[in-house]
Chain A
Amino acid sequence: MAPSRGPLPLARTLHVTLDGHKGPVNVARYAKGSAKYVLTGGQDRTVRLWNASLGTEIKAFNAHGYEVLSIAVAHDNAKFVSSGGDRSVFVWDVTSGTTTRRLPGHMGKINAVEFNEDASIVASGSFDSTVRLWDLRAQSRAPIQILEEARDAIQTLHIESTSITTGSVDGHVRTYDLRKGELRSDYIGHPVTAVVPTQDSQTFLVTTLDSHIRLIDATNGKMLNDFIGHTNSSYRCRACFGLGEATVVCGDENGMVWAWDLLDAKLLQPNPPPKVHSKVITWTEHHPSDAGEMITSSADGTCKIWRLNT
């Protein structure tokens, strides 16, 4: 598809609704690879695996004793890692549905977990304002390193090939550059709830609780664009890029999914968007390869998969 003028319209046709969770759904992640499957984690202490195209629940992973707040899938889809109120990171084997490891150490609930590229490292960011880096290859259960620079709860983190990016409630986005051996902290000024870097790691998208989404230049910390219009002041509503990083998509606290053009920060039509969830949208994730697919999870207990109407 040639780069026609204007970005692709957002997938706004409801394809299927995943409503197996009994409480709010906190996180919904696509699997890696062709991303046919979706993993969701909710307040009902379960992680559920869904077939995204059919909308059927494949498996429920029960081991958490508290809510599930974050999920990350390994590159080979063989395992995933989840965390939540248990203060332990759970590493799961997908096929057997059991935890292969539980990594205790955090003092508070864990808001974010992430694998590195080859799933040898798990990073977990917690309410206790630390990020712990766990080695999955070694048998040691102690973290390799603890990043304690944040002064408030870590809300999000992201691992790139040679850097770790964290977002904290203290209003900072911290990039730990392993190659340079330096820590770059960008002060955003408002509690950061989500940081999503672009593929080229040149920019990252920062969602803050002042109803702003900012596109920050990773190299010098300058703000490239500011996306406003939605409502986000108290919940973690993760914004993400649309396909090809041409758009920015975010669900807000009123249950609406907003989309902006990345370049001129203009709201895409319809404006205002229709209300598709009855409660706050907690997670928005675009399909990694399929142009017209997107998933939203909401506190109303459902996840919805959206597709373009053809």
Chain B
Amino acid sequence: MTSRLKRKLGDIGVDTSSARANENFCLIGTPLPPLEKSRDTGEFVPLWKQEVRDEKGRRRLHGAFTGGFSAGYFNTVGSKEGWTPQTFVSSRSDRAKKKAAKPEDFMDEEDIQDIRDSRKIVDTTDEMDLTSGKQIESQDDADADPLTAALQSAMLPPSKDSVGARILKKMGWRVGQGIGPRISLKQRRLQDLQASTGSAFSVSTSEIVPAEDAEEASKHTYAPRDTPVLVVERKDNSHGLGYRPGMSLNDSLGVKGSGGSSTGPNISSGFGLGALNDADEDDLDVYDGSSANARNRLAYDASDDPERDRTFLSGSKSKLRSAPVPIPPTGTFRDGTHVLPGFVLSGKPVMEDRWYPLPDIPPGWKPDPKRVWSQGQNQEQYPASNKENVKQENTAAIPHGKWKTSGLSADDRGSILGETPLPSAPRSVFDYMSQKDRDRLKNIAANLHSTTGLPATASASDQTSPAPAPAPAATTPRIPRTDPQIARAALTGFKPFPSDPVKQARYTAYLQSQADTSSTIMLEPLPHQSIPEFNSEMEEYAQSAVVFKPVSGAMAGRFTSAAVVEHGPKVIEGLHTPAFEEQSSSNEEKKATEEKELSPKENAARMGMYGHLTRETVPWQPARLLCKRFGVKDPNPEPKTEDPTQSSGPDFQDLSSSSVFDPSVPSGTSAADYGIVSINNDNTSASTSGPRDLANVGLGDEDDTQGRDTLTYERPSVDVFKAIFASDDEDSSDEERGDEGDKGPNDIETSGPSSETTMSTKISPLSSIPVVVDDQPVDPNTFKPTFVRREARTANADSDKQEKKERKEKKKKEKRKAIVSFMDDEAGDTLNVVVEKPKKKRKKDKEKDREKDKETGGLKSKGEKEVEKEVKSKRRNDVDENEDDMWVEKPAPPAVTVASDVEMADTSAALSVGSEVPRGRKRAIDFL
């Protein structure tokens, strides 16, 4: 706007600064579309374009056919994150927080709102309780008189006017008034009377005294009196109706007539009667004594006249119905209630409590509660009335819960009251039982009831039932029975009376008498002990035996008894009465504790004599892995799997070799295993001639024959190898002969206790045992050194021999090749099956050799030849001449022959051969 124009406009009188003068009509650029569609809401939209939305603008109906509710995430089972399942979150720690699902959890806000709305209506009912506050007060002081109650209710406005109250007020009702049509003065008086006496029956028209201003007042009608609402107290105990804890008999009979007068007639039960319902006669409490009154002890109800107004609020129907029926004179209670048909009114008064004066206390009397407690069971000593008094004092204070749990049964009460038991006492189950069952039950009962006497089964049931007469059994000493097994177990178990040596001794004696039925131990009451005391002591022992017997089986392993036994001070029950006894008992205790420590170990430790007395050494098996980690060899390698079914030679060999040479045998042995093994050793060593147990093999020198087996198995290995791996180019004639040769020594060996009959059977180590035993027992200690030496020797000798024997051996082996090779695979270099057989073969071979030698002559020493001759003459006649040239002199064979032969001639030959060697030792060597 130029200044000129401004001036011009100013002249005209236009305010140039006004907005209108400055209005700009130029538009630059394209205007943005309006932010909101200013669409007419009432605009017609075709049906297919219409959308259903809730108040929050969410689309509620959608889908292909635009129908159905929205469910899940856009009608899918997916979620906003897609189909990825949630990672598992453990709710373990949140279990406490987790609540059970409520219906509300599955509702959306609309549903919840609905529920809330509906609840609101329900809630209004709560406010209808007009007199709730008053009732609470009236409960507080039950015997506040009705006038003050009425005043209170009149003066105190209801906390909040409910709908009903508001309606009533609009209808003219005011607080403090009763509800109903207005009534005349007379009726109101009647109502007042009725309210004050509390009974509809009690009011008689004659008693309504007209006031002076009656004529003036009777011109008006009055609002009826307010009716107190009867609130039935919640009954949360099991007392009889109308009984309050601590009520005396007089109270319960309603003698004082206190209470309840203001609340109108008592209703027999709170069920089915609304607060505003009238009480029928049927509902009235038949046993209600609270309305007992002199005035209504009438044969006819005086207030019952037909012309009476019918606006009574309560009891009106009953008045109408109660016909003037003459009531039989005996059939009425004092309050006019009819006696139930079939019952007769008693003329005697109800028994009342009587209090007896305290007995005169003798001057020298001292309280001894122990006596009371111990003889608590014997009720005959204490007058029932005394007990009753005590009980009564207690009952006033005991709340209901305690009363219930105090454990006082009807029988107990009966016995307290001194009632005679019912004459038709039920027959005990025990009467139908056999004696055995009864005994068993008796034992069970002994565990359960400490105080009940056990021995007579019939009396066991008597004990529980009230027994007015003193138990006759209490006068005779009685020893309860304990199962011998339990007693025996308890003898070895815990000693329950460490601080009382006398008791402990008696306990032990008792157990011994029970454990051994034939024992002559008899327990007598101590001199100062009365019979009942003795009986209870015996019962205590019987219980202790059951309780303290050691835990058996699997449970026992879970507990360890404390290393230190507590010697707690002995608690003396009852009031403290210092006596001479106490001193001596404390001395005894001291002595007992000293005696307790008499175990040599503890004694030595106390004396400072540490050494072998305080040291215990037990075998312990470290875990194999532990040994490995510590770089220590397993100290007791586990004996290999013991299979009693395989008692054959190969296994034996395998075992011995592994246990001796192989430290890497898997072993998880514990001391227990060790122990078992040692037991086995004992067994087998005791019976050497019996079948051997594999367990003892290789575990030491208790078996004097085992070393031999270990030694013998080395020698044939070379043969065996050769037999297996060398090429067989020998003819079958050798084989046949070898077969025969095998049989020769076998026949001889059958003289042993267990021997083989055929070659195919594996030769057990036993077959070699008798051979050795026959000659002389060999000191096993000598085996080892000789073994090493002989090893080299035999290896040399063998190598010499084998070169020559080779082919022959091969053929023999071939025959049993299958067995041999199998074992070979299994045990590596130690050929287990072959171990024995080759030995025999070896013997046979040697024998053959000898035969051959004999034929070749010259090369052998004289003695050897003699031996061989003998052998040959005895066994062999089929000498194969063909192989003679192959054999040369060997050092060992004669001795071997001797060892394997049974004949004494052989032994003499052996002597001649190796005379410089001690006999036993030589045997071992030769055996190699």
* Residues of chain A at the chain B interface (Cβ within 8 Å): 116, 120-121, 129, 133, 135, 137-138, 144-145, 151-152, 161-162, 169-171, 176-189, 214, 216, 220-223, 226
Contact = CB atoms under 8 A, between A and B. Distances in A.
A186 B602 CA distance: 11
B828 interface: no
Given A116-B629, A182-B619, A151 B563 contact: yes
Contact of A189 (B606, B622, B625): B606
B602 A189 contact: yes
B621 A181 contact: yes
Contacts of B562: 151-152
Nearest to B619: A182
Given A151-B563, A186-B614, A176 B620 contact: yes
Counting chain B CB atoms within 10 Å of each CB, the highest count among A169, A177, A187 belongs to A187
Given A151-B560, A151-B562, A185-B616, A178 B611 contact: no
A183 B619 contact: yes
14 contacts: A121-B630, A129-B560, A133-B623, A133-B626, A137-B629, A151-B561, A152-B563, A176-B622, A181-B621, A182-B618, A182-B620, A185-B618, A214-B610, A222-B610
Contacts, number: 106
Contacts of B612: 220-221
Interface in B297-344: none
A186 B615 CA distance: 4
Given A133-B623, A176-B620, A182-B618, A116 B630 contact: yes
B627 interface: yes
A221 B630 contact: no
Contacts of B784: none
Nearest to A117: B630
Contacts of B602: 187, 189
A182 B632 CA distance: 13
A135 B625 contact: yes
A187 B614 contact: yes
Counting chain A CB atoms within 10 Å of each CB, the highest count among B621, B622, B636 belongs to B622
Nearest to A169: B563
B112 interface: no
Contacts of A176: 620, 622
B619 A181 contact: yes
Contacts of A137: 629
Given A121-B629, A226-B608, A183 B614 contact: no
Contact of B635 (A116, A152, A178, A223): A178
Which 5 pairs of residues, A with B, have the shortest CB-CB distance? A181-B635, A189-B605, A221-B615, A183-B620, A223-B610
Interface string B779-803: 0000000000000000000000000
B182 interface: no
A185 B615 contact: yes
Contacts of B630: 116, 121, 161-162, 178
B633 interface: yes
Contacts of B564: 152, 170
B601 interface: yes
A171 B605 contact: yes
Given A220-B615, A221-B615, A181 B629 contact: no
Contacts of A129: 560
B3 interface: no
A183 B563 contact: no
Contacts of A161: 630
B635 A179 contact: yes
Contacts of A221: 610-612, 614-615
Q: Do most interface residues of chain B lie in helix, strand or loop, or is the interface mixed?
A: loop
Nearest to B624: A144
A164 B629 CA distance: 13
A222 B609 CA distance: 7
Contacts of A182: 617-620, 635
B614 A145 contact: no
Contacts of B611: 220-223
B628 to A, nearest CB: 9
Nearest to B607: A189
Contacts of B627: 178
Interface size grouping (class) on chain B: 20 to 34
Contacts of B626: 121, 133, 144-145, 178
Contacts of B614: 186-189, 221
Contacts of A188: 605, 610, 614
A298 to B, nearest CB: 29
A123 to B, nearest CB: 10
Given A170-B563, A187-B601, A179 B633 contact: yes
A193 to B, nearest CB: 15
Nearest to B560: A151
A144 B625 contact: yes
A145 B622 contact: yes
Contacts of A183: 617-620
Nearest to B630: A178
Given A177-B620, A186-B610, 17 more contacts: A116-B630, A121-B630, A145-B625, A151-B560, A178-B627, A179-B633, A181-B620, A181-B634, A181-B636, A182-B617, A182-B619, A184-B617, A185-B615, A187-B602, A187-B615, A187-B616, A222-B610
A215 to B, nearest CB: 10
A120 B632 contact: no
Given A182-B617, A186-B614, A162 B629 contact: no
A171 B630 CA distance: 27
A182 B634 CA distance: 11
Nearest to A133: B626
Contacts of A171: 563, 605
B211 to A, nearest CB: 88
B636 A187 contact: no
A186 B623 CA distance: 22
Nearest to A206: B610
Nearest to B674: A181
B560 to A, nearest CB: 6
Contacts of B616: 184-185, 187
B627 to A, nearest CB: 6
Contacts of A133: 623, 626
Contacts of A121: 626, 629-630
Contacts of A186: 610, 614-615
A168 B578 CA distance: 42
Interface in B238-290: none
B672 to A, nearest CB: 13
Interface in B530-574: 560-564
Nearest to B603: A189
Contact of B623 (A144, A152, A169): A144
Counting chain A CB atoms within 10 Å of each CB, the highest count among B602, B621, B630 belongs to B630
B610 A178 contact: no
A145 B605 contact: no
Nearest to B604: A187
Given A121-B626, A144-B623, A171-B605, A178 B617 contact: no
A138 B562 CA distance: 35
B233 to A, nearest CB: 54
A183 B621 CA distance: 9
Interface in B570-617: 601-602, 604-606, 608, 610-612, 614-617
Contacts of A189: 602, 605-606, 614
B870 to A, nearest CB: 52
Contacts of A116: 629-630
Nearest to A185: B616
A178 B608 contact: no
A189 B563 CA distance: 11
Counting chain B CB atoms within 10 Å of each CB, the highest count among A138, A176, A183 belongs to A183
A138 B624 CA distance: 14
B838 to A, nearest CB: 37
Nearest to B633: A179
A129 B560 CA distance: 10
A178 B605 contact: no
Contact of B605 (A135, A187, A220, A226): A187
Nearest to A136: B629
Interface string B433-450: 000000000000000000
